[in-house]
Amino acid sequence: MERLDRETQLFAVEKVLEEIKRAENYLRDWNVGWYEQYLDAYSTSLYNTGMADVEAIERKYQKLYKLANVYHPETKIGIPLKKAVLEDYCGNQYECEFGRIDWIGMKSKKATRSFSFNNNGVIKYDKIAKSVKNTKGYSYSASYSVLNDDFDLRLSYYDSMKKDDSYLSISLKDSILTEKLEDIEIKRNLATEELTAKVNGQEYGPIVSKLLRGKVERKAKEVVGAIRGEIPLVGLVDRLDNYLRLVDKEQIIRKESSLNKRTRKN
């Protein structure tokens, strides 16, 4: 896990717990079953306990608590998301802390979903759509940090009626926006406005790069607009909305530039 100073991690844990609470309220409207699991355990009291005993405790709690890394007490997890006192079958008690909470097993007729909340501020959300005849759907894996604007979205799209399958990814890290649509890759530095584009690894100049970016962002706007309403994480939706506003701004600039060119010709 990334090492954070105490003040930063306090903020990260606070924000992650807020996202958990909001997501729980959202999930109440979903007609699916799911279960919670606590991971990234830290426990000095379990350190000297035999592996068989630790595994027995896991079985007792039906694997609600994952204790695989309690044998490394020197690797502290920092501020936990969850604290628990666990008992073995003899009634002995062990204090444990957990740095990660997962929600898994959300299966419906159309999709399977899972969440992972980490005390370093990173939240992950996955949706796997089931291919159904005469329908279209999106499967995606998304992650973001509550500490900054960075996010990562990797999405596959299918339309069984049009027999169309495509892949799209969008990520923002340290002001570098990367967009990929099939074999096209666009990189843009939001601080300097430097733009590069590649197709199958071949790099292109500024004019072609702008044209390719327009193609990628039109598809990205369509896809992101389609999924944002079903995402139960406020922080992730905020980041996707920021991206959509950026795309809208670029589309307006391109339209104005095209209009100015036609005006000069006339």
Q: Do residues 28 and 57 share a domain?
A: no
* Positions in the chain whose pLDDT score sits under 70: 1-3, 71-75, 131-135, 159-164, 251-266
- 126 and 194 part of one domain: yes
Name the one residue in this structure whose structure tokens are 């807020």.
18
How many angstroms separate the CA atoms of 102 and 113, rounded? 11
Does residue 192 sit in the same domain as residue 172?
A: yes
Report the DSSP pairing between strands 164-173 and 176-181.
antiparallel
Q: Up-side HSE of residue 85: CA atoms within 13 Å toward CB?
A: 3
203 and 126 within one domain: yes
Residue 94 falls within a domain, yes or no? yes
Is the domain of 87 the same as that of 163? no
- Per-residue pLDDT of 224-235, as tens digits, reads 998 999 899 999
The per-residue pLDDT for 120 is: 93
Q: Is 58 inside any structural domain?
A: yes
What's the pLDDT at 68? 79
The parent domain of residue 48 ranges over 41-100
Distances (CA, A) of 150 to 17, 169, 177: 19, 14, 9
**Residue 53 confidence (pLDDT):** 86
Same domain, 57 and 182: no
Are residues 58 and 168 located together in one domain of the fold?
no
- pTM for the model stands at 0.88
Query: What pLDDT was estimated at residue 160?
Result: 64
pLDDT in tens, 114-126: 999 999 999 999 9
